[in-house]
Structures are given as C-alpha cells and as structure tokens.
Structure 1
Amino acid sequence: MEIEQLQQFLKVAELGNFTRAAECLAISQPALSRSIARLEEALGQPLFERQSRKVTLTDAGQLLLPRAHRIVSLVEDTKAEISDDGESGRIRLGAIPTIAPFFLPEMLSPFAESFPKAHLTVQEDTTDNLLRRCQQGEIDLAILALPISAKHLEVESLFDEELLLVLPVDHPLCAKKQIKLADVEPYPFILLDEAHCLSDNIVTFCRHRSFNPVSVERTSQLATVQELVSLRHGVSMIPEMAKQLDTSKRRVYRSLFGTKPTRTIAMIWNPYRFQCKLLDRFKEHVRQFAHEFPVKSV
C-alpha cells in the first residue's frame, strides 16, 4: 500500500468517477484503474462498486476512507513540518463565490510579493464543500460568510459587511429618499441558488421582519443576479464588496433605512492539522487586509 494509491483512492471516492479523478490527478484513466486495482489486490477486497457512469464505495471502501484521510494527512503534515522555513511551501485557500472575486485579488497580490517562494492555490466552492474539504485537510484555510455549522474547525470573524438593495436604474423606489424593507415587499426577488449562503442571509433577514421574499428566479452567479436586475426581472440584495466593482450605470444600489441586512466574513481552518509558519503569516496577512478593507461595518 502506497501513499500515492491512497491519494488516488480518496480522489475517486470524492468524485465518484474514474475519468474525472484521473483528470484531477493529471494521469490517464487506465493508469488510475491499474493503481486502484493493485490497492484492492493488496487489501484483498474490492473498494468500489463499478457502475456504468459512477462508482460507489463498498463496505471495505467505507472502512478505508476515514483511515486513508488520516494517513495521507499525517504524511503531508510531517513533510510540511520538516521543511517548514516560514518562507516557502504551499497554501491551499478556499473561498465562496460571493467573496472570491471581490476580496481575494487585492489581498493575494501583496502576499505573493512578500513571499515569492510560497505557492498559493485558490479553490472556489460552496460553504458546505469548503467545510468538508477543510475538515478533511484538502484545503488549509477558507474565507466564507457566517453562520456555519461545523465541528472541529477554528472560526475567526474578520468584518461585517452590509447587503445593499440593487434596483434597475428606472425603478420606482429609486425616487425615494429612504427605502424601508416594507417598500420592497411588493417586488419579486432574484436570488442565488440555495447552495449559496448569501440567499440564506437575505431570506433570514426578511423573515425575522415578517417578510417572506418571493423569489421569481434563482441563478448560480452573482453577476447574473445583477444583470437580471438590470433587465427588470426583479430586485435583490448584493454584498457591498460586489457593488464596489460594479461600474454599470444600469443598476442603482441603496442602503435600506433602519436595521440593515449584513453578513459576517470569517476565515476557518482545521486546528488539528499542522499549522506551518507560512500559514500563520498568511492568516495574519488576511487579518490585516480585512481590517483595512473598505466596506461599511454596520
């Protein structure tokens, strides 16, 4: 049994497909199939039920899965600790789609200049997937929005951000000096898919004020939400960091009068994994950048 085989086993188990796993591992599918077959031969048990379009774990595979995660994590942590010089190494960063394009570019650039030997990769995913991958050691740090429900992870709040009402430029509400939540109630909402926590933030805020927004359309991209608003399909609420990069004159952003909808941006990591000096320096960089990040703290 080799570490590389366990890494390959974990990737197939994660994706449920040999072809996609081979692509992620940058090897051919026949080579991956042979490697898994050798692992199954060494263990004396099949690890996967092979079907036409997907594979599922057998009982033996289910038994191996958590242990393979621990073994691979232990080896990776040991290698990282031995070579830890605080200047070089790999950091695997995750972020949700409603944060990544607006917060990360300006934050990563100065870090890359200060630590040219560091190799930093960014993976954009939903909150649930990032939590799982952080728990399993597939990423070192994630930046997302609270609340979250996860065990065995360290959570540190960075800043609060207002959610702004976004309207088409000629919307009747644009003429009002103050827009209250009750003013928005008659209009349909455009929201992100349920997999995105931003929709939960919006719906929860409204429901706590006895207002259940009627969603006429859902999409997977924040940019699509903005465009659909411009096309007068409805209204929405957008994080302030997204508004700052929006140069379109077809949309208007307004702050709601009274209690304002917000979200809390946080970073998470697995404290049970080895924390290299470079990762500690990166976390401090994130804290400093977040402190200076130009959004309204409500």
Structure 2
Amino acid sequence: MQIELIQTFIDLCETRSFNRTAERLSVTQSTVSGRVRALEGSLGHRLFTRSRAGTELTTGGLRFAPHARALLHAWTEARHAVGDSGGVLTMRIGIQSDLVTLHFSELIGDFRAALPGTAFLFEADYSAQMCSDLMTGAEDLAILFSPRYHPDLHFETVGEITYLMVSTETDRLSDVRQETYIMPHYSYAMPQLHAALHPRLATASLSIGQNTAMVLLLRSLGGTAYVHRPSAEELIRAGTCRAVADAAPIQQPVFAGLHVRNRHRSAHRRMLQIVRGRFGPSGAAPARRRGA
C-alpha cells in the first residue's frame, strides 16, 4: 500500500475538506480524490461521504482511522530506523521556540548523560506542528505550550514559565497606551488569559507570537508588552524598560508530549523525568495525565 494514501486519508480526517487537504499536501483536489478512491478500492469499503454539508467519515472510515494512524506512525519509525547510521538510535526532540533559552543546554547535557550512545536531534518549533510530528512519529518527545489532545498522544504538565509586563513608557498599568501596546500571543490560550486580565488592551493592533521578536521590537520601537521573566529582568537591568509593577504576571504551563506507543518505553520515561526536573518548581514535578 502506498503510504501517501494513508497520509491523505489522515489529513482528510482532520480537515473534512478535499480542497483544504489538497492545499496542505500541495497537490490538486483531483489527486486527493484519486488517492481516496484508490484506498477505498484496496479496502473494499467507502471511507467518506460528501455532501453540501461537508465531508464526513463513514462507519468504515471511523473504524479504519486508528489503524491508519498506527500504520503511518510505524512507517515513520521504520524509515528512521533504516536511516540511523551505525546502529545509533536517534531521538528527535521538539521544543517550543520560547523555551530554547531556558534550560536548553542543561536538557541536552541531561539527555546525553542519561542515554549515552544515543544521537539527539533538537528542533525549535510551534505546538501545532510538534503535535502533528508526534502523531506521525517524526518526533519522539515534544516540550510545548499548547497540547493538541488526541487518543494517540499523551501529555503531562511539567511546569510553567512566567511572563511579566514591561514598558519603555511607564511603570503604571493605568498609563499603558493601547496604541503602543503589543499583545502577547505565545500560545493559543494566552489571548484569552490576557483578555480576562486586561480587557482595555485586548484590541491592540499589533500581536507577536515569539518572545525573542517581542524583545527586539521593544528595543527598536518601544512600547509595552509581556515578555518572559528572564527577558524582562534583562531589559530592566539595561535601562531599556521599566516593570509595570501593578500588572499581574501571566503564567504559561509547559507540557511534555509523546505518542502513547512510546509512553512506557524506558528511554522516553527517562527523558520525561528529566524534563519534569528541569521545568518543575522544585525538582521533579508530579506527572498529570491529560486526556483527549
């Protein structure tokens, strides 16, 4: 069976749109339709129904979906196994972009000490892509802000980081100007958290989704924004910004995620323990399962 048929089926399960799946896979809509027909022909059952209301899975499609995800995950793992040179196991780790400057070198050292003889590939990315990579097996572990809960994925809360409001203009919340305020969009949940704290600033015209970019913008253009605590302290020490002392901090939870197939493997359990220890408030944070 051609693996692109499985990839197309899984993507269509998510989008429920032949056109959207074609865009995401960079193929034509007729190619998507042809792949679905070929897969249905191989299985001897229809997988989707199409109507004006949209595209829906048939009963057969619903039954096939978990097997398709398992096939794609196994295929990706097999490709990595064949590609690993010299018999060296490679662990692929995704990490939220904003976390690269926090405990990153320590994590690398801890992982290498705990799993000697293992090669590591670290990639900074955003939560949505990391969750997709965990699903397919392209990543073994992800450290992220926004879990995408799914029966095939396991997530644990491993700690949290703090964002503080700083300003080049004022140290009082009442004097923060909407026209020079930059909205934080570091995770999917942050706009809602922010709106609850500061409804007056929720309609600011500029929003940034990365801490490094936010710091650069404050240094070049000025204004007021939430930045990661170490960045806030550095900006204040440099005299670039002042702390807006009466603005409440925003706490962003940090999660670790992996495929359920890997949840009980010793190497993955060891990496999870290390991540808890680095991001937990004091030593290893208690593990908490978050379901779909």
Corresponding residue number in structure 2 for 1:106: 105
Q: How far apart are the structure 2 equivalents of 1:200 and 1:276?
A: 36
In structure 1, stretches of 5+ residues that fail to align are 23-34, 48-55, 81-86, 174-178, 294-298
* TM-score (normalizing by structure 1): 0.60
* TM-score in terms of structure 2 length: 0.61
C-alpha separation in 2, matches of 1:195 and 1:239:
13
Aligned equivalent of 1:281: 270
Q: Could you say what secondary structure the match of 2:264 adopts? A: coil
Matched, 1:226 2:226: no
Residues 78-227 of structure 1 aligned to structure 2 (within 5 Å): 89-99=89-99, 101-103=100-102, 105-111=104-110, 113-114=112-113, 115-126=116-127, 128-135=128-135, 137-145=137-145, 150-152=149-151, 153-168=153-168, 171=169, 173=170, 179-184=171-176, 188-192=180-184, 196-207=188-199, 211-227=200-216
Alignment partner of 1:238 is 2:239: no
Partner of 2:254: 265
Change in CA separation of 1:259 and 1:192 when aligned onto 2, cut-off 3 Å: closer
- Give the Cα–Cα distance (whole angstroms) in 2 for the partners of residues 194 and 289 of structure 1: 20
Residue type at the aligned position of 1:182:
S
Helix, strand or coil at the partner of 2:215: helix
The aligned runs of 1:28-43 (5 Å cut-off) are none
Change (3 A) 1:8 1:129: closer
Residue in structure 1 matched with residue 68 of structure 2 by the alignment: 68
Per the TM alignment, residue 224 of structure 1 is displaced from its structure 2 partner at its CA by 3.0
SS at match of 1:102: coil
**What RMSD over aligned residues (CA atoms) do the two structures have, in Å?**
4.9
Q: CA deviation at 1:253?
A: 5.1
Go from structure 1 to structure 2 and tell me whether the alpha carbon gap of 1:65 and 1:104 turns closer, same or farther (over 3 Å shift): farther
Q: Equivalents in 1 of 2:239, 2:185: separation in Å? A: 23
When residues 224 and 180 of structure 1 are mapped into structure 2, their CA distance, relative to the original with a 3 A threshold, is same
Identify the range of structure 1 (246-255 vs 35-44) with the bigger mean alpha-carbon deviation: 35-44
Contact 2:160 2:279 survives alignment (8 Å): no
Equivalent position amino acid for 2:125 in 1: E
Q: 1:205 to 1:160 in 2, by over 3 A?
A: farther
Q: Determine the C-alpha separation between the residues in 1 that align with 2:148 and 2:38.
A: 38
| Percent sequence identity over aligned pairs | 15
**1:173-216: CA deviations, max 9, x gaps?**
2xxxxx45334366642125587544444333324xxx443412
Residues 73, 136 of structure 1: alpha-carbon distance in 2 compared, 3 angstrom cutoff = closer
Higher RCO structure, 1 or 2 (CA under 8 Å, sep 6+)? 1
How much does 1:112 deviate?
Answer: 5.1
TM-fit CA distance, 1:57? 11
Q: Deviations over 1:46-98 (max 9, x none)?
A: 99xxxxxxxx9999xx7766532122335667999xxxxxx963433333333
What residue in structure 1 maps to residue 32 of structure 2? none
Per the alignment, do residues 223 and 9 of structure 1 end up closer, same or farther by CA in structure 2, a change over 3 Å counting?
same
Decide whether the 8 Å contact of 1:89 with 1:278 is kept in 2: no
CA distance in 1, matches of 2:154, 2:5: 27
On the 8 A contact 2:254/2:279 being kept in 1, the answer is no
Distance in 2, matches of 1:76 and 1:129, equals 16
Aligned-pair CA distance for 1:236: 0.6
Distance 1:5 1:213, change over 3 A: closer
SS for the counterpart of 2:254 is: strand
Alpha-carbon distance, 1:141 to partner:
2.6
Q: Distance in 2 between matches of 1:220 and 1:291?
A: 24
8 A Cα contact 2:163 2:251, kept in partner: yes
Distance (Å, rounded) in 1 between the aligned partners of 2:236 and 2:180: 24
CA contact (8 A) 1:165 1:255 kept: yes
